[in-house]
Chain A
Amino acid sequence: MSTIQIVLVALFVYLGSIGSVVGNTIGWYALGRPLVASFVVGVITGDLQDAMVVGIPLQIMYMGSVTPGGAVAWDLSYATYIGTAGAIMFGKGAGASELIGYAVLFAGIGGFVGQLMWNLSYALNLPLNRLAKKYADAGDTKHMYVPNVVGGQIIGFACRFIPAVIVLSALNLGSAQADFANMIPGWLTQFLSVFGGMMAALGMGIILSFLVKKGWHYAVFLAGFILVTYFNLSTMAVAVIATIVGVVFYAAETKEA
């Protein structure tokens, strides 16, 4: 990856993190989602197809990581931008399951760094309260953005962008070592590919815990499952059927009332 590409990816790591300057709706909840993040990395590196190959499984794996704000368990933005970029750097010419294995590995590293940085910025933001109090006491309504946006974003940017540049540069240097990919033993690649496939169960299991509220909901979940296994439908076809079911259900429910 060129320096410009590294800087651009790091910039998006920051934009997709919690409380970036574009707001959580556009940042954390849109740019920070693995599906979108891999698309962005794909556009930046020019390898859109490989990026999406890892983006889809990463999104499924991390589907359960939706908890907002203070309860962040895993820095999704860091995990997926670094994971996708790492997979593209190291996995040149590799097959899909190898790419996914690399992405899972690097996303783990990225998520860990991101988690440290989140805790750091959370602590560094504390003194801003004093600054806000000063402006509030002066009744200065015109400068309330200074502690919140200016202060918060200098800290936020420093905690996201700079470490991301360092991590990405290190990965870039590592991948430039000619036969690094060959140094990884076969059993490890095999393990990563098995692990990647099984990790999808994590996202799906956590999502189920949000969705299942009544006993018969298991049957509805199973219906979606067998439409693929017994009827060989694509997930898109199942999504269309699901939407129809939803519309009919809503119409029937509201008519009764």
Chain B
Amino acid sequence: MAEKKISPKTLKKSFLNWFFWNGCSQQAESMLGMAFGQSMAPVIDELYDTKEEKAAALNRHITLFNTESQVGSICNGITCALEESLANGQCTPEVIESVKVALIGPTSAIGDSLWVATIIPILLTICLSIAEANPSTAWIGAVIYLIAYPIGTCILSWNLFRLGYRSGLEGLQNLMASGKLDKLTDALTLVGLIVTGALTASFVSASLPIQITKEVADYTGAEVVYNTVVLFNADNMLNSIFPKILPLGLTLLVYYLYSKKKWSPMKLMGLIAVLAAILTAIGKVSGVY
């Protein structure tokens, strides 16, 4: 019997099923299981002949599976390679099942921390700085993101899928052990930090609206004019110490509460609402607003 091999066309089909429809039927029971099953369906159709074999293989892949799906396409590639060995009698269903379970953790971790929490915000901050440069051409930043992100991610996802298929588990281990990924992340982190600093300075606003004014009579003209002179302005004083110290402080406070004290975004939003209400009230009373 000739050795079975998945055709490139079927691999592409499997990848596209995953790329477009990985989140279609997400729920608490099998998470992305049904989507994974659909991704494997063309592969199973090609590798197995009898109805019983196909049924057993499909049942293997509609069970619980979850990952960050964009980077996680490497799991689909690895599973394709394993199904191929199984069809050739070089693997067992138990191995496939345990490898799939083992893949959930590391691929979710890399996907969420590197791609979702680092690449997306960095790309967004860069596009935001393009958008912010000129109000009349702000849309360009949005268009660049809309084009660059899906295309870049699709290329990455497809290459990870092929890497998974070609080199199996070893491919994932090599990728993680080479250290190149870490250095790239480090460099991108610096870019992200600098741009985040700039965006904080440009967009976060917070002020202490306290001022003391005095009416000063001006006798120089023909008529006596009363001018309001600002004797003390809390915001100007603070900014003369360090420009935009309040926005910076507020941002660092949010950072501290979120990462060290584990406050939820909803709780933080509540805190900001309370602070904003207090500051608005102070502003009303002291006559700044």
Contact = CB atoms under 8 A, between A and B. Distances in A.
B196 A207 contact: yes
Interface in B134-164: 135-136, 138-139, 141-143, 145-146, 149-150, 153-154, 157
B17 interface: yes
Interface residues of B, number: 120
Interface stretch (B41-49, B75-83, B91-99, B217-225): B41-49
Contacts of B66: 69-70
A100 to B, nearest CB: 10
Interface stretch (B1-9, B181-189, B228-236): B181-189
B171 interface: no
Contacts of A48: 139
Given A211-B118, A254-B180, A204 B191 contact: no
Residue picked from B41, B190, B205, B269, most chain A C-beta under 10 Å: B190
Nearest to B113: A210
A44 interface: no
Contacts of B24: 19, 21, 148-149, 152-153, 156
**B contacts with A: majority SS:** helix
A72 to B, nearest CB: 10
Contact of B190 (A26, A239, A242): A242
Contacts of A210: 113, 117-118, 121
Contact of B129 (A19, A123, A133, A234): A234
Contact of A222 (B21, B26, B130, B197): B197
A198 B128 contact: no
A177 interface: no
Contacts, number: 396
Contacts of A220: 190, 193-194, 197
B23 A24 contact: yes
Most central of B116, B139, B193 by chain A CB within 10 Å: B193
B189 A211 contact: yes
Contacts of B180: 254
B114 to A, nearest CB: 10
B194 A223 contact: yes
A107 to B, nearest CB: 11
A65 B17 CA distance: 26
A246 B192 CA distance: 9
B202 A201 contact: no
A226 B248 CA distance: 10
A257 to B, nearest CB: 7
B184 A136 contact: no
B197 A201 contact: no
A86 interface: no
A221 B62 contact: no
Interface in A92-134: 122-123, 125-126, 128-129, 132-133
A148 B180 CA distance: 37
A181 interface: no
A11 interface: no
Contacts of A18: 23, 26
B258 interface: yes
B284 interface: yes
Interface in B14-41: 17, 19-31, 33-35, 37-38, 41
A195 B272 contact: yes
B211 interface: no
B221 to A, nearest CB: 34
A250 B185 CA distance: 9
Q: Which 8 A-B pairs have the closest CB atoms?
A: A224-B197, A205-B254, A19-B23, A152-B25, A197-B205, A139-B54, A39-B142, A209-B259
Interface of B: 17, 19-31, 33-35, 37-38, 41-42, 44-45, 50-55, 58-59, 62, 66, 68-70, 112-113, 116-118, 120-121, 124-133, 135-136, 138-139, 141-143, 145-146, 149-150, 153-154, 157, 179-180, 183-184, 186-206, 243-244, 247-248, 250-255, 257-259, 264-266, 268-269, 272-273, 275-277, 279-280, 283-284, 289
Given A141-B44, A202-B268, 4 more contacts: A201-B204, A206-B265, A236-B129, A249-B186
